A and B are shown apart, each in its own frame.
Chain A
């Protein structure tokens, strides 16, 4: 078993080792001090954090609905909510055009009635990211709610606590590890999002050019810069993911033990 686990660790570690090995370290400061890099990184952080927040606001209620309420067509809704995980992102981007584009099913009314255009805007980037990233949060949180012992919540209800109070004081704290993991997954997926973004939101520095887009396009012209940009993205994600685990999940687990 240890051997197999070792192989999978090596499988994940090797590509990063390859990047570190090939990265032109002497040019790091030159490349990172370029203004366009800062712009893309900032836009990436901004949009992926907004995506994580939106996923949380809309995803948790959806997870609650899927886990707790037995309504007809529930498995259909669950499949629908996870469909974007298996869809090739570029196809997802085209589907977003057909729905939210200025000729789309819904987008045409946004455009005609309110003059709102989503493609080629930063809001479009967030839409594309939410579409591919939110399922990660919904699935993680739903699984956690299903495993919850509902007797604590029932007890609180019989003692006169309101539904919202129970949710805030009992449900939410008990699913906290899963919620944090779900947010982290959704955020990470949003940060790395490429296909749906370049299809639906396009690519314009400062408006829709996120780090993955900048990195991919740099590969055409300046492969060295692309390597450095990848390293930067990896560092940022790694710091956040490791930090999250230790700070939130680590402490939570100790609480449960003690």
Chain B
């Protein structure tokens, strides 16, 4: 029995060490924690980065900015953090986990998302108050929920939501499946969803434009490669890609 137990222990320890060893590789690897709304554009920019730097491996971790901020404060090993808002980046900066100051690299804007083909003919925010219309949003703690509240306040409209979703993708899923009639999400989300939903623009004067910020994490082991990625993001090539996916650009 004792021998059995010790051999099991040896096996477990062996597996743990094997796991540790394989993480340490000879090529530089870049771990990028980024807001989920950056998924599509970062995948393209990442592919460009790999063509420019074949010796650097790149891994993305896409999740909501608030989840990532929490994970980073709990020791998520990452080199870059790209947040969809300033507030969640501040959590990381305030905890002293960022190298220097974050920089803004893009903006987004909001649109009303409706079912494909807009069967209810929604053209304005005021129509969201129609009785029986199922409007879904996020709690104000989540950036998209806060921005939605801001836009509705700017438009002087009060809407009772049918549900407060976890994140913008949750809103999009419900509208795509036709279970909810409308929501407000990022313009880039609607573009990324392609033909599965329809977007209704919101006038510039009541719209909000959240800032996307990026920074190098203090504990990064690849700060030089990290800087190269951030430089690519701010290069003409990077800006072209951001613009293609519907992001707004900051003056260069």
Taking the complex as formed, is B166 at the interface, i.e. its CB lies under 8 A from any CB of chain A? yes
Instruction: Evaluate contact between A220 and B162: CB separation under 8 angstroms.
Output: no
Instruction: Evaluate contact between A202 and B163: CB separation under 8 angstroms.
Output: yes
* Cα–Cα, bound, A119→B175 (Å): 12
* Residue of A98, A201, A204, A209 with most partner-chain B CB within 10 A: A204
* Cα–Cα, bound, A109→B150 (Å): 38
Distance of A76 from chain B, by nearest CB (Å): 28
**Chain B, 164-183, contact with A by CB distance < 8 Å: what is the 0/1 string?**
11100010011001111000
A201 and chain B: residue at smallest CB distance: B163
Taking the complex as formed, is B8 at the interface, i.e. its CB lies under 8 A from any CB of chain A? yes
Taking the complex as formed, is B148 at the interface, i.e. its CB lies under 8 A from any CB of chain A? no
Taking the complex as formed, is A1 at the interface, i.e. its CB lies under 8 A from any CB of chain B? yes
Identify which of residues 187-224 in chain A touch chain B, using a CB-to-CB cut-off of 8 Å: 198-199, 201-205, 208-209, 216-217, 219-221, 223
Residues in A neighbouring B21, C-beta threshold 8 A:
none
Instruction: Evaluate contact between B139 and A94: CB separation under 8 angstroms.
Output: no
Residue from B64, B67, B141, B166 within 8 A of A198 (CB atoms): B166
**Chain B, 6-49, contact with A by CB distance < 8 Å: what is the 0/1 string?**
00110000000000000000000000000000000000000000
Given A202-B163, A204-B162, A204-B164, the answer on whether A220 and B139 have CB atoms closer than 8 Å is yes
Instruction: Evaluate contact between A120 and B134: CB separation under 8 angstroms.
Output: yes
* Cα–Cα, bound, A101→B179 (Å): 6
**Chain B, 138-172, contact with A by CB distance < 8 Å: what is the 0/1 string?**
01011000000000000000000111111000100
Instruction: Count A-side interface residues using an 8 Å CB cutoff.
Output: 26
Inter-chain contact count A-B, CB under 8 Å? 65
Residues in A neighbouring B136, C-beta threshold 8 A:
202
Taking the complex as formed, is A131 at the interface, i.e. its CB lies under 8 A from any CB of chain B? no
Residues in A neighbouring B174, C-beta threshold 8 A:
119, 202
**Chain A, 164-201, contact with B by CB distance < 8 Å: what is the 0/1 string?**
00000000000000000000000000000000001101
Taking the complex as formed, is B1 at the interface, i.e. its CB lies under 8 A from any CB of chain A? yes
Taking the complex as formed, is A4 at the interface, i.e. its CB lies under 8 A from any CB of chain B? yes
* Cα–Cα, bound, A120→B1 (Å): 55
Given A203-B165, A204-B161, A204-B164, the answer on whether A4 and B170 have CB atoms closer than 8 Å is no
Residues in A neighbouring B252, C-beta threshold 8 A:
none
Taking the complex as formed, is B95 at the interface, i.e. its CB lies under 8 A from any CB of chain A? no
* Residue of B139, B141, B179 with most partner-chain A CB within 10 A: B179
14 contacts between A and B (CB under 8 A): A1-B1, A98-B177, A101-B177, A119-B179, A120-B134, A201-B163, A202-B164, A202-B174, A203-B163, A204-B162, A217-B141, A220-B139, A220-B141, A221-B141
Q: Residues on B close to A: CB < 8 A?
A: 1, 5, 8-9, 64, 66-67, 70, 134, 136, 139, 141-142, 161-166, 170, 173-174, 177-180
5 further A-B pairs in the complex, CB-CB below 8 A; given A3-B9, A205-B164, A217-B139: A119-B179, A120-B162, A120-B180, A202-B136, A220-B141
10 closest cross-chain pairs (CB), A and B? A202-B163, A221-B141, A103-B178, A120-B162, A220-B141, A220-B66, A203-B164, A119-B179, A101-B179, A97-B177
Q: Residues on A close to B: CB < 8 A?
A: 1, 3-4, 94, 97-98, 101-103, 119-120, 198-199, 201-205, 208-209, 216-217, 219-221, 223
